[in-house]
Structures are given as C-alpha cells and as structure tokens.
Amino acid sequence: MGIKEKDLLTMEQLDREQIELILHTAKEMKSIIKRDIKKVPTLRGKSIVTLFYEPSTRTRTSFELAGKYMSADMVNINTTASSVVKGESLKDTGLTLQAMGLDIVIVRHSMAGAPAMLGSYLEARVINAGDGFHQHPTQALLDMLTIQEHLGGFEGLKVAIVGDVLHSRVVRSDLNGLITMGAKVTICGPATLIPPGLEEMGAKVTYNLEEAISDADVIVMLRIQLERQKAGFFPSLREYSQYYGLNKERLSLASKDCLVIHPGPINRGIEISGEVADSLNSCINEQVTNGVAVRMALLYLMLS
Ligand code: CP
C-alpha cells in the first residue's frame, strides 16, 4: 500500500491508515539519516524536480536531501532564473519538465490550488510543498512525527495552535491531520487573524492564549508574517507579543513536558521568546530532521 491518490495535495485526503503508514515509514527512514554514509539505492533511476515559486529553506532543502539519500536524480528549478520569468505558465512549465522524463514534481506556489491544477495536467505525480494559505501537508506530517515520537500517539492529546491562523497553510494541514488521529485541537490568536469555519473543521477557538495553552500537551506556534503588520491586523509587534507571545512564564501553564513546535522560520522575541525556542520543551530542530525523514517516506511510498 502507498499513497492512494496520484498527488499529495492536502492532509484532508489522508485517512488514519495512510498517516500511520507514512509516519511508520518515516521512522524507518530516520535510521538512514543517522548513518555516516547516507545513501541507499531505493530510488535509483527516478527523476524528481522541485519547482518553488516562493522562498523556502527547510522544505526545498529537505526534499532535495531526501531524494539524494535515496539515489534519485534531483533537479531544482530556480523560478527566477527559468523561463517562468519569460512568462511561461505553470502548466507549460510542468509539461516541459514532464517531457524530460520526470517522475514527480514538488511544487510550492503562492496561489491556493496551483499544485492541484498542475497535477490535473500531468501524468507525473505532484506533491504540494505549500500553496497560498491553503495547505502544507508535508509540514503537518513532520509535526505529527515529532509529536508521535515524544508522546506515543495522538488520541485525546491537547494541542494548542497559536498565532496568525488566517494566513497559515500549516494550520489547516495540522488541524486535518491531528483531528483525523483523535487529538483535541484549540486554535488561538487575535480575532482579526482567526478565519471562520475552524469549528466546522473540528477545532475549538479562543482568543485567550492562557486559556488555549492551559494543560496543553503540545503548543504549535505559528510565524507572525511580518508583512501582515502593515495591513493592520494588529496594532504593533510589541502588542502582539505581549498578548500572544509564548514565554517561559506562560509555558508553565501547559503540561510539565509540553512540546513546543514551530514550522519555522521563527521570529525570536515576537511569537516565541528565545528562551522558549532554546528550551528543552522546544522541538524545532527535531522537526527539521523529521522533515527529511517524512519526505523520504513520501518519495519512497509514491515512487516505489
Ligand atoms: N516550514 C517551512 O515551510 O519552511 P520553509 O519556508 O523554509 O520551507
């Protein structure tokens, strides 16, 4: 059994069985990452392209390493130095790459739905590496792997997701995955950054940080997208941090061994204090390692 649909576009499409399979496979992959010689022949002869229309450090690099560790041929398209700048459309770029023999394309785009549209034109498989404010399924899977490794499972776990929910693709993916696996999710942030419809997705919503994180087993802090401040969603970064920043004092309200996770990049001193980011509760660097493992698992399950 692998990933049932041709493309991985959202966490919504994955049922419990598939999530368990991906997380189990990712754990096996971690043993390869820890080796001195990180190379297995699993995907020899397979061609993988990363096509990113938005900046990325973690996602793009971890997909590239994931493919290389499994001996796939990896090509990164720098859209600012490609025929995209001459006006070539996403569809034509995809068809061009497919004509060169690619097996899978990993795409990040500012438009929600762009990976789904690309997948509808290609026989090659597509992985969504983040589309607009819509979904970022591989981030959710690596977050879930991190939680599972520490806490064993998800059933009944209290998870608080805090921050700029309105503009976050991570929150929608995390919410889908965690609810599917039986966690209880509370979403928190300023009212201006909380969109409608989250209760229908299974979450509880509060605007009070202390309430959200009280007795939480996991706190997911979302990045404040600094460019949003100009749009007037909150008065100032200082005020945002005062009401919604996670510091040591607030963290003491959560369960003793509460995990703090963050998709990155973090804004130290704004949504998360440096002290919390560097604390024993923080799993931020582990998330990055797990990002490679989860992406290895997906490439393996989708290509083998
Ligand atoms: N979390 C995440 O998607 O990070 P990058 O933008 O660096 O890929």
Quick one: tokens of 102? 């690619």
Is 183 found in the same domain as 129?
no
Q: What is 35-91 written as a DSSP string? A: SSS----TTTT-EEEEEESS--SHHHHHHHHHHHHTT-EEEEEEGGGSGGGGT--HH
The answer to whether residue 183 sits within a structural domain is yes
Q: How many Å lie between the centroid of ligand 1 and the Cα of residue 58? A: 5
Which pLDDT does position 161 carry in this prediction? 98
Best residue among 59, 136, 288 to mutate for probing ligand 1's pocket (most ligand atoms within 8 Å of CB) is: 59
| Nearest alpha carbon, ligand 1 atom 5 | 56
Let me know whether 100 and 20 are in one domain: yes
- Output the CA 55–ligand 1 centroid distance in Å: 8
In this structure, the answer to whether residues 79 and 214 fall within a common structural domain is no
Which run of H or E residues covers position 296? helix 284-303
Does 10 score more than 70 pLDDT? yes
Domain that holds residue 257: 137-283
Tell me, rounded to whole angstroms, the distance of Cα 33 from its chain centroid: 19
Q: Is residue 148 part of a domain?
A: yes
Q: Are residues 51 and 20 in the same domain?
A: yes
Segment 170-181 shows an average pLDDT of: 98
Ligand 1 in contact with 189 (CB < 6 A)? no
The alpha carbon of 32 and the centre of ligand 1 are apart by a number of angstroms equal to 23
Residue 2 lies inside a defined structural domain of this protein: no
Is 127 in contact with 106 (CB distance < 8 Å)? Answer: yes
Residues 181, 158: Cα–Cα separation, whole Å: 12
Contact by Cβ (8 Å): 267, 284: no
Residue 274, classified by CB atoms within 10 Å of its CB into exposed (0-12), middle (13-18) or buried (19+), is exposed
Residue with tokens 């995990």: 259
Same domain, 275 and 296: no
Using the predicted structure, report yes or no on whether residue 82 has a pLDDT greater than 90.
no
Q: Both 279 and 144 in a single domain? A: yes
Indicate whether 275 and 147 sit together in one domain.
yes
Q: Is the CB of 61 under 6 A from ligand 1?
A: no
DSSP class of residue 224?
P
Two tokens, residue 91? 């569809």
- The mean of the pLDDT values for the chain is 96
Q: Give the Å distance between the CA of 149 and the centre of ligand 1.
A: 21
pTM for the structure as a whole: 0.96
Residue 129 near residue 141 (C-beta atoms within 8 A): no
- 268 has a pLDDT exceeding 90: yes
Same domain, 230 and 170: yes
pLDDT at res. 189: 97
* Ligand 1 contact via 58 beta carbon (within 6 Å): yes
Q: Is the CB of 25 under 6 A from ligand 1?
A: no
pLDDT of 211: 98
Q: What is the DSSP string of 126-169?
A: EEEEEETTTB-HHHHHHHHHHHHHHHS--TT-EEEEES--TT-H
What pLDDT, on the 0 to 100 scale, is given for residue 230?
75
Same domain flag for 103 and 19: yes
Please indicate, yes or no, whether residues 159 and 66 belong to a single structural domain of this protein. no
The answer, yes or no, to whether any atom of ligand 1 lies below 6 A from the CB of 139, is yes
Please give the tally of structural domains in the chain.
Answer: 2
Domain contains 4 = no
Q: Is residue 6 part of a domain?
A: no
CATH number at residue 294: 3.40.50.1370
CA angle 43, 297, 98 (to 5 degrees): 50
- For 114, the token pair is 């762009």
